[in-house]
Chain A
Amino acid sequence: MNRGLHTETLTQRGLKHQSDEMIMQSVANGNLDAMTILFDRYHEWIYNFLYKMKPDAAFCEDLTQNVFYKALRYRTSYSGGKFASWIFSIARNLFHDEVKKEKYRTNVSLDNLRVVEDKEEDLSDEVKRLHVVLNKLKAEEKEIIVMSRFQGMKYQQIAEVIGSSEVAVKTKVHRVLKKMKTLYFENRIV
């Protein structure tokens, strides 16, 4: 019993230095505890994506938990691709499902969700203006900008996640940035 526990911790420790993909493979093979490592590596990243899209801490915390639970639940469907893209897709799908449900209930669409309102006074002028601009974007425009500029995702990775091509994503990001630049300087006084 004791020995088993010992080996378990050793494997866990060994995994700590492995790639995301190796660890997820281990989870898929039944080592569920290893998911904790991936949770520690990615939950803030996922949480921040959700929070940028919908700044509601309780909502995003629940959803972040749920993302990792889904990943655990459907571990066998992980097919060895880049883990970050896989977990991000789960988050994105869950998020859109939730928003759809909410829209159905409250009639508030994603386009009308505001970015960060509560802690507004602590923010610098630039950040406040950026939020105003982000709020003026369409949901899909905002999403692609969040992925590219806040999540640090490469165009290729975004393309994978949203099912598009690298060139198309790049063009779109640039187009939205141009639009944002115009809005950003149009609204100097807010």
Chain B
Amino acid sequence: MKCNTVENKMILFLEGELDPKQHAEMEAHIASCSNCQQMLEETKALLDAFGKVEDEVPSPRVKQGFMELLEEEKSLQQFTIGKNNSKEFAWKTAFQIAASILLLIGGYAIGSFQKGSESNVEIAQLREETSQLKQDMMLAMLDNRSVSKRIQAVNYSEDIAMPDAKVLEALIDRLHFDGNVNVRLAAVEALSRYSENEKVKDAFIKSLTNETNPNIQIAVIQFLVEVQDKRARAPMQKLLEHSETPKFVKDQVNEGLVILM
């Protein structure tokens, strides 16, 4: 074995990674070569020096800071409804059946309408029932496991001319807690039509505090600026200060803040 080879294999030798035959050859060479002996000692000394460096101990500040960040993250933790295991329901069929029942009742209603004037009242009643049915369908569908079904349900809410508190609440729930960004975004759009409603405004303010997705942040900011809700200023300021906020969101915030002043 040449000195050159010994040098190249020195660390493997010291780490015990050579096969027994090579290991023996190294030992034999080193025993007979003073240069390589010195090299062995030097390499050992270097490797020993590594072991003499002591570990640093960070101050308790690190743990305190981490615990604070953990609490912050826990408060942001959102409930993902998409995970529950409700059984898949055949929505298409359900709508079809509902539609045919409506058609039947509708046909009957038209018939009785032609018969007499009292029927007007019945039609009005039927209309109400129809919208009630639609609304119930939509509410049930909002809890569906499939994302696209939930988006569809959110969009159905637009067909409901005068949604009651239940519908708004369900939409607001989507806005806050849905695990899917697209559903939350659809909820923002649907809710934006009720700009007069105080509950909706409150929900948007709350969403601005908790939401981390930039697309939704922007949509929410646009809404709040549009309705001139000055309460939005505090959460918007917070977004500006937060290091995670992307620049384009900050730009939107700055624009909005000027208008809200």
Interface residues of chain A, those whose CB is within 8 Å of chain B, are 30, 32-33, 35-36, 39, 43-44, 47-48, 51, 57, 60-62, 64-65, 68-69, 72-73, 124, 126-127, 129-130, 149-150, 173-174, 177-178, 180-181, 184-185
Contacts and interface: CB of A to CB of B under 8 A. Distances in A.
A43 B62 contact: yes
A155 B43 CA distance: 19
A72 B56 contact: no
Contacts of B50: 130, 149-150
Interface residues of B, number: 31
Contacts of A30: 77
Contact of A69 (B8, B58, B66): B66
Given A126-B48, A149-B50, A178-B7, A61 B61 contact: yes
Interface string B38-67: 000011011111101101111101110111
A126 B49 contact: yes
Given A47-B56, A48-B55, A177-B46, 14 more contacts: A32-B74, A36-B70, A43-B63, A48-B56, A64-B58, A65-B65, A69-B69, A72-B69, A72-B70, A149-B50, A177-B43, A178-B11, A181-B42, A184-B42
A62 B66 CA distance: 9
Contacts of A64: 58, 62
Given A65-B65, A65-B69, A44 B57 contact: yes
B73 A39 contact: no
B12 interface: yes
Contact of B62 (A33, A35, A65, A173): A65
Contacts of B11: 173-174, 177-178
A65, A150, A173, A178, most chain B CB atoms within 10 A:
A65
Contact of B53 (A36, A60, A150, A181): A150
The listed residue with most A CB atoms (<10 A of its CB), out of B42, B50, B77, is B50
Contacts of A43: 58, 62-63, 66
A4 B174 CA distance: 26
A70 to B, nearest CB: 10
Contacts of B77: 30, 32
A51 B56 contact: yes
